[in-house]
Amino acid sequence: MKMQHRVSLVGAGPAGFALAIDLEKRGTNVLVYSHPSHLRHVNDVQDKGLLTVRGKLEGSTVLRITSNMRDVIGFSNLIILTVPSTGQETVLQELKKFSLHQHTIVAVPGNLFGLVAEMEVGCIVETNLSPYSCRMDEERLVVLGKKHLVFIAALQKDPGLEIQETMKRIFPLELKWCSNVVEVCLLNVNGVFHPLMMLMNAGRIENTDGNFLLYRDGLTRSVANAMLAVDRVRMEVGEAFGFRMKSAVEISNECYDQSFTDLIDLAQNSGPHNKLKAPSDLENRNISEDVSDLLISWHSLAEKLGIDASPIRAIVVLVEMATGVNYFKIGRDLYKLHLQDVSRNELIQRFGPSTRQNGH
Ligand SMILES: NC(=O)c1ccc[n+]([C@@H]2O[C@H](COP(=O)([O-])OP(=O)(O)OC[C@H]3O[C@@H](n4cnc5c(N)ncnc54)[C@H](OP(=O)(O)O)[C@@H]3O)[C@@H](O)[C@H]2O)c1
């Protein structure tokens, strides 16, 4: 008899819904959790009675939905977080009320969730990106693209074959296992793309309510030049750990199975990117998530490693000047990652390529 699998998904936005529908289609029962103060999409779906999807996935399904974390823990030993990383701490407060020694938590994307979490869990796994590009469109889920590959790692030294097999079953794409969560975080290229496209197009965003194509119209030569400076910092950080680093374009090519030669080529010609509309204002996760949880962590790692991180510092300062939010204060620096007392050498030893290492 075929075994019936179950998965709990924490995060009821387009990324969580796309994974939920895909899993249900492939015979896995899913329970979706929406935090009681974050019910926006869930209310829409419940009003309609079912979730309809179109695009790269087609169909409709009645989702099991809860706002009670006890249901999540009981439903499955496998919990996938699909909240933005800025929401991880809110759901952590709920998760920490339970014993999770038998559970595996998978953060999609991770952005160093495992280091922030500081909790006893059977296993923590992180990916660099979400498998789908998707959005809600009048209560329908639209899946615009599906990645070919995501990068993945466990916080624990060796996740074991069983976890690797489970991840293979859950994610409908190729998984490339990395040494550890720091390497995976350095492979989330949204930190290179998003904040600069937002900042360098701020006037246009605010003038048009985002009525232009963010990559196709907004990633021009000078924006690309600035991105290359940030990308160099990201790569230098990875190289200091001993990882073989690739450029943001090469990583994106690998994830989407494409072969663009540079950032402009990608912005103009990549199907999953060149039709994306700009957000309507700067208060968007392209800044709140990607500056807070990617750029600040890359910056603080760079400083500890003795790498010039001034291109990232410039972005964070300008973001504060433009929005009033000081991400140096609230972002994932070494304190938030519980690495403030770790020396440069310990840091490299702990997260260098030869080990899959526990961050605590
Ligand atoms: N959608 C995509 O195409 C795509 C592509 C690549 C990567 N990703 C990544 O995948 C993740 C999820 O994306 P998404 O589009 O599904 O995001 P989303 O709709 O903005 O958020 C997902 C869910 O998390 C909830 N949430 C937000 N902040 C929270 C908090 N502080 N505490 C508890 N719940 C919170 C949202 O509720 P409310 O909306 O009610 O606040 C929503 O139910 C993000 O990290 C995103 O960067 C998405």
Q: Is residue 356 part of a domain?
A: no
pLDDT in tens, the chain (360 residues): 455 699 999 999 999 999 999 999 999 999 999 999 999 899 888 888 889 999 989 999 999 999 999 999 999 999 999 999 999 999 999 999 999 999 999 999 999 999 999 899 999 999 999 999 998 887 799 998 899 999 999 998 788 899 999 999 999 899 999 999 999 999 999 999 999 999 999 999 999 999 999 999 999 999 999 999 999 999 999 999 999 999 999 999 999 999 999 999 999 999 989 999 999 999 999 999 999 999 999 999 999 999 999 999 999 999 999 999 999 999 999 999 999 999 999 999 999 996 444 443
Residue 8, H or E segment: strand 5-10
Q: Are 181 and 205 members of one domain?
A: no
Among 185, 209, 229, the domain boundary falls at 185
Is 279's C-beta closer than 6 angstroms to any atom of ligand 1?
no
Do 103 and 245 belong together in one domain? no
Residue 13, ligand 1, Cβ within 6 A: yes
Find the radius of gyration of the CA atoms of the chain. Answer: 20
Residues 148 and 18 in one domain: yes
Rounded-to-integer distance, Cα 157 and Cα 142, Å: 37
Task: Say yes or no: 142 and 226 in one domain.
Answer: no
Residue 63 CB–ligand 1 contact under 6 Å:
no
Ligand 1 pocket, mutate which of 83, 95, 277 (most atoms under 8 A from CB): 83
For residue 258, tell me if it sits in a domain.
yes
Is residue 243 situated within a structural domain? Answer: yes
Tell me the residue range of the domain where 77 lies: 5-185
Residue 349 Cα to ligand 1 midpoint, Å, equals 33
In a domain, 248, yes or no: yes
Is the CB of residue 38 below 6 angstroms from any atom belonging to ligand 1?
yes
Closest Cα to atom 42 of ligand 1 = 13
User: 150 and 290, same structural domain?
Assistant: no
Say how far apart CA 108 and CA 357 lie, in whole Å.
19
Considering the domain architecture, whether residues 136 and 198 belong to the same structural domain is answered as: no
Residue 291 sits in a domain whose CATH number is 1.10.1040.10
Other beta carbons less than 10 A from residue 176's beta carbon? 15
Q: Rounded CA gap, 60 and 53, in Å?
A: 6
360 belongs to a structural domain: no
For the chain, the domain total comes to 2
Task: Select from 185, 219, 244 the last residue of a domain.
Answer: 185
Does 158 share its domain with 197? no
Give the pLDDT of residue 358.
Answer: 42
Q: Tabulate helix, strand, coil % of the chain (nearest 5).
A: 45, 20, 35
Q: Give residue 48's pLDDT.
A: 81
Contact 261, 248 (CB under 8 A): no
pLDDT of the residue at 292 = 98
Q: Note whether 227 and 164 are same-domain residues.
A: no
Q: What pLDDT sits at residue 360?
A: 36
Q: How far is CA 18 from CA 82, 120, 173, 311, in A?
A: 10, 29, 14, 35
Choosing from 125, 154, 185, the residue where a domain stops is: 185
Cα 306 to middle of ligand 1, angstroms: 34
Q: Is the CB of 339 under 6 A from ligand 1?
A: no
H or E segment to which residue 5 belongs: strand 5-10
